């Protein structure tokens, strides 16, 4: 009787283990499938002309996505310009001021911003910049993406700097180095790898964002580097071409997906290597 019960429990235990393993492995299936389709359909589309030429009109074979690649880099640049300095300084503020009203509000604001749907950020950039400037532009798209970068940079900066021991700071202060020079010359350099990682992760996050660009950067079939004109971007191109009825455009969208996923994964990989190699150790 007892033996029977123990047997039942062991069987149940085994069954549970098998179920957990199967469910875990099964949830890997979509990723494998997605990567498989992107590589299979996308890799063959990529060639030198694909990277360097402009899109051709419907019906013509060939053509490339040079404008979207340049546009994506332009948008990331415009986004980083305000987001990196503001994000890092706000992160320093947070790590230096743990208690108080403003730190509390800032922490809350960063959390809320992080959870804000990207489409809402798009609406905001439209209301603030597109209406004011009288048209779609790279700068409005870039600012929308910049707002999305901010919370990531603030949080990683704060988390990194908090790990740096006070003794390091105190040693510098004891030598008579002013407070601000201690922060700029001692604390920030010590946390540089963490801060860099944060920036890379935030860039990886915005590089694939489409929703905030729909009514800001808008898309553009031509090459453009003027930041007050509409500009194309890789995710925008994928969206527009994937939802079009032309097989030739679908092929281009697969190729662009391949490049976008490659870029995003590469950024994540570099970020992880930096964390692993350069990890601040005390």
Partner 1 sequence: MGSAQRVSAQGGEGVFQKTLLLSALAIVVLLAAIFLSLFLHSVPSLRDFGFSFLVNKTWNPVSREFGALSFLVGTLLTSCLSLIICLPFSLAISIFLGEYCIEGLLSSFLKNVTELLAGIPSVIYGFWGLFVLVPVMRKLEMKLGVAPYGVGIITASLILSVMIVPYAASIAREVISLVPSDIKEAAYSLGATKQEVITRIILPYARSGILAGILLALGRALGETMAVTMVIGNSNLLPQSIFSPGNTMASVIANEFTEATGRIYLSSLIEIGLLLFLVTTVINIIGKMIISRVSVEA
Exposure class string for 245-277: b at 16+ Cβ within 10 A, else e: eeebbbbbbbbbbbbbbebbeebeeebeebbee
What H or E segment, with its residue span, contains residue 54? none
CA dihedral sign of residues 282, 177, 87, 151: positive
C-beta neighbour count of 147 within 10 angstroms: 21
Applying CB under 8 A, the site for partner 1 has a residue count of: 87
As measured in angstroms, the least distance from the Cβ of 195 to partner 1 is 14
**Beta carbon nearer to partner 1, 75 or 204:** 204
As measured in angstroms, the least distance from the Cβ of 49 to partner 1 is 22
> Which of 45, 149, 190, 204 is the binder for partner 1 (CB under 8 A)?
204
By CB under 8 A, tell whether 180 contacts partner 1. yes
- Give the distance from CA 147 to its chain's centroid: 12
**Beta carbon nearer to partner 1, 58 or 265:** 265
As measured in angstroms, the least distance from the Cβ of 54 to partner 1 is 21
Residues in 37-66 at the binding interface with partner 1, rule: CB under 8 A? 37-38
Residue holding tokens 């601040």? Answer: 280
Tell me the window of 54-62, 70-78, 108-116, 192-200 that interacts with partner 1 (CB under 8 A). Answer: 108-116
Residues in 7-26 at the binding interface with partner 1, rule: CB under 8 A? 9-10, 12-13, 15-17, 19-21, 23-24, 26
By CB under 8 A, tell whether 214 contacts partner 1. yes
By CB under 8 A, tell whether 249 contacts partner 1. no
By CB under 8 A, tell whether 105 contacts partner 1. yes
Phi/psi at 228 (5° precision): -100, 10
By CB under 8 A, tell whether 238 contacts partner 1. yes
Instruction: Please give the structure tokens belonging to residue 89.
Output: 């300084």
**Beta carbon nearer to partner 1, 74 or 211:** 211
**Beta carbon nearer to partner 1, 4 or 282:** 4
Instruction: Please give the structure tokens belonging to residue 274.
Output: 């930096």
Q: Could you tell me if 273 and 266 are in contact, meaning their C-beta atoms sit under 8 angstroms apart?
A: no
d(CA 213, CA 126): 9
**Beta carbon nearer to partner 1, 28 or 48:** 28
By CB under 8 A, tell whether 208 contacts partner 1. yes
Residue in 245, 235, 142, 159 with CA at minimum distance from that of residue 198: 159
> Which of 2, 3, 5, 28 is the binder for partner 1 (CB under 8 A)?
28
By CB under 8 A, tell whether 133 contacts partner 1. no
Q: Could you tell me if 211 and 203 are in contact, meaning their C-beta atoms sit under 8 angstroms apart?
A: no
């Amino acid at each position: 009787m007892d033996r029977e019960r123990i047997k039942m429990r062991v069987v149940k235990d085994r069954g549970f283990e098998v179920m957990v393993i199967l469910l875990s492995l099964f949830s890997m299936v979509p990723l494998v499938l997605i990567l498989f389709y992107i590589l299979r359909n996308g890799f063959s589309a990529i060639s030198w002309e694909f990277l360097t030429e402009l899109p051709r009109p419907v019906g013509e074979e060939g053509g490339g996505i040079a404008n979207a690649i340049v546009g994506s880099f332009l948008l990331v640049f415009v986004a980083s310009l305000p987001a990196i300095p503001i994000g890092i300084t706000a992160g320093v503020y947070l790590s230096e001021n743990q208690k108080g009203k403003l730190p509390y509000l800032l922490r809350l604001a960063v959390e809320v911003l992080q959870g804000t749907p990207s489409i809402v950020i798009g609406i905001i950039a439209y209301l603030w910049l597109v209406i004011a400037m009288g048209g779609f532009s790279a700068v409005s798209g870039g600012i929308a993406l910049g707002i999305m970068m901010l919370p990531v940079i603030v949080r990683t900066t704060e988390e990194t700097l908090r790990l740096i021991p006070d003794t390091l700071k105190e040693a510098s202060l004891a030598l008579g180095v002013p407070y601000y020079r201690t922060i700029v010359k001692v604390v920030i350099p010590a946390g540089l790898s963490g801060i860099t990682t944060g920036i890379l992760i935030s860039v990886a996050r915005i590089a694939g964002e489409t929703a905030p660009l729909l009514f800001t950067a808008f898309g553009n079939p031509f090459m453009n580097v003027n930041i007050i004109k509409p500009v194309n971007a890789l995710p925008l191109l994928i969206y527009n071409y994937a939802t079009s009825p032309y097989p030739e455009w679908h092929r281009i969208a697969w190729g662009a997906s391949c490049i976008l996923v490659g870029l995003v994964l590469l950024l994540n990989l570099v970020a992880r290597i930096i964390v692993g190699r350069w990890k601040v150790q005390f």
